[in-house]
Amino acid sequence: MLLKRIKLSPFETLYYVAPASLVFQIMYILVRERDALHWDTGGRMVKEHGTVMLIAASMGFIVNISGFLVMKRTSGLVVKLLSILRSNGLVVGTFLLLPGNEVTRLQWLGYSIAMVGFVWYTVLKQVPSRAPEQDKNPEDPEVDDRHQLAGGSAHNK
């Protein structure tokens, strides 16, 4: 809702969001990951896996841009539904592709209900909405007056 009122491109939005995000990430790293800042641990990892880290950073940037584009073009509900779909897909995908990941029957039931809800919402969005038709008797002047007050015309039939 906030992003719909402000006319910024996704890159301009990241220009304002990225510094705040960086500050909070640095605060977290200083509190929780202090040991990883040493050259013999974190520096070695960057040296050995720099390409993978660069690819992961690029993918994160693309995800951020995509997220802002989706928010500007749709509603918050669609973003939430896509988040649920992504989470379900991640859990089910890791269960199918990575051995050793257990998913209980209750979790399968929850993921199934979420997927049915997502499909149901998608199908309902495809159906054009119809305004309820007013039951009116052409002979009844009171119903005709109410129709005129609601913005209709007395000559519509």
Residues 51-85: tens digit of each pLDDT? 888 998 898 888 877 877 777 777 777 777 777 77
Mean pLDDT of 39-56: 82
- Sorted by sequence, the CB contacts under 8 Å of residue 134 that are 6+ apart come out as 143, 147
What's this model's pTM, rounded to 2 decimal places?
Answer: 0.42
Model confidence pLDDT, tens digit, residues 94-115: 888 877 778 888 988 888 888 8
